[in-house]
Amino acid sequence: MNAAQEKFTRETITEIQTWTPNLFGFRCTRDAGFRFTAGQFARLGVRKPNGMIVWRAYSMVSSPFDDFLEFFSIVVPDGEFTSELSKLQVGDEIFMEKQPNGFLTLDRFVDGSDLWMLATGTGLAPFLSIMQDFSVWERFERIVLVYSVREQAELAYRELIDEILNREYVMEYAHKFTFVPVVTREVVPGCLNERITDLLETGQLEKHVGLPMVAERSRVLLCGNPDMVEDCRMLLQKRDMQLSLTRKPGAVAVENYW
């Protein structure tokens, strides 16, 4: 099979950033034909020692307009995919399916004034991509990013968040943005200390931000631990905030990780 017939491209790792022994980000080359919408994911492949290629889904951290692709990963102990991925070095090869996937995108919503993005762990990735899409800053009156981790060292991409807010096309809109870091296993100044679901259920999250989460105004993206995603979805359903489907627009869109 020639390259044109294959469903994937071969890309090269160009940069690796490590936050903890089990948490890292990496950049790779981007095929000129690969197009995606902010919030989508790619299927990545790594080759195992036996020659087999193992595939997993990873949301893009990078902007749809960058000439590289960036991804955010944990290392799963003895994981079939991440145990191989974590061994890759700059210059090594990684495989990528040619078509992106996923519906954690702003076109899931037809209206709404406030955008809430609730993430745990590497579920932060698609929201970083969305924040680099100029249209989100024009469209919404308030933008809230809630990022929950277990330990302070896992609060990744803080520099990128600051850098995005200082970009010329964002600076005049940066007042719309509120960042809420959450650390559940340590008490850290400036960070909330309870799980997102608890913060949502008690109303503490909205009180902290100074913004109600209501069906009429709020649009909510959920990404990360599937238990968090499902629990938050059920809590929002009690507020009459339903999943946004292709033929039935709603107030909530989700993506599960692992």
Q: Where are the alpha helices (DSSP H) in the chain?
A: 82-85, 125-131, 134-139, 158-165, 168-171, 196-202, 204-209, 226-237
> Strand, coil or helix: what is 224?
strand
Pairing of β 218-224 and β 114-120: parallel
Give the HSE-up count for residue 31: Cα atoms under 13 Å, Cβ half-sphere.
19
Is the predicted pLDDT of residue 245 greater than 90, yes or no?
A: no
Q: Which residue has the tokens 């690969």?
A: 34
Mean pLDDT of 199-213: 97
Report whether 64 contacts 133 (CB < 8 A).
yes
Residue pLDDT, tens place only, 124-157? 999 999 999 999 999 999 999 999 999 999 999 9
Mean pLDDT of 67-86: 94
**Entry field: residues in the chain:** 258
From CA 72, how far away is CA 74, in angstroms rounded?
7
Is the predicted pLDDT of residue 257 greater than 80, yes or no?
A: no
Residue pLDDT, tens place only, 180-204? 999 999 999 999 999 999 999 999 9
Tokens of 143: 């933008």
Backbone phi and psi for residue 24, each to the nearest 5 degrees, phi listed first:
-150, 160
- Reported in sequence order, the residue ranges of the chain that DSSP labels E, i.e. its strands, are 8-20, 23-29, 41-47, 53-59, 68-74, 93-97, 114-120, 142-149, 177-183, 218-224, 252-256
> Strand, coil or helix: what is 186?
coil
Report whether 114 contacts 211 (CB < 8 A).
yes
Q: Which domains does the chain have, with CATH numbers?
A: 8-97 (2.40.30.10), 106-256 (3.40.50.80)
pTM above 0.85, yes or no: yes
Q: How many CB atoms lie within 10 A of CB 70?
A: 23
Is the predicted pLDDT of residue 16 greater than 60, yes or no?
A: yes
What is the predicted pLDDT for the residue at 165?
97
Q: Which candidate, 48, 7, 50, 45, places its Cα nearest to that of 28?
A: 45
Mean pLDDT of 233-257: 91
Higher pLDDT residue, 6 or 236? Answer: 236
What is the predicted pLDDT for the residue at 176?
97
Backbone phi and psi for residue 6, each to the nearest 5 degrees, phi listed first:
-70, 150
Mean pLDDT of 219-248: 94
What is the predicted pLDDT for the residue at 256?
78
Report whether 82 contacts 75 (CB < 8 A).
yes
Mean pLDDT of 165-169: 95
Is the predicted pLDDT of residue 3 greater than 60, yes or no?
A: no
Q: How many CB atoms lie within 10 A of CB 117?
A: 25
Report whether 40 contacts 60 (CB < 8 A).
yes
Is the predicted pLDDT of residue 106 greater than 70, yes or no?
A: yes
Is the predicted pLDDT of residue 246 greater than 80, yes or no?
A: no
From CA 13, how far away is CA 212, in angstroms rounded?
42
